[in-house]
Amino acid sequence: MASRIEHEFIGAFAGGVFATFNNDEANPHAVNVATGALLGKYAARLPDMFEPASHPNHRNFFHSWVFLGTLGVGMYKLTKWEPKEGYEKVLKWFVLIAGVAYASHLLRDSITPKGLPLV
In terms of pLDDT, which residue wins out, 55 or 108? 108
Q: Which of 73, 74, 59 is nearest to 105 (CA)?
A: 59
Give the model confidence (pLDDT) of 70-105 as tens digits: 999 999 999 999 999 989 999 999 999 999 999 999
Domain assignment of residue 102, yes or no:
yes
pTM exceeds 0.85 for this model: yes
Q: Is the pLDDT of residue 30 over 90?
A: no
Amino acid occupying residue 26: A
Write out the residue range of the structural domain in which residue 106 sits. Answer: 4-110
Q: Total structural domains in the chain?
A: 1
What's the maximum distance between 2 C-alpha atoms anywhere in the chain? 46
Domain assignment of residue 28, yes or no:
yes
Residue range 15-21: average pLDDT? 92
Res. 26 pLDDT band, cuts 50 70 90? low
Domain assignment of residue 116, yes or no:
no
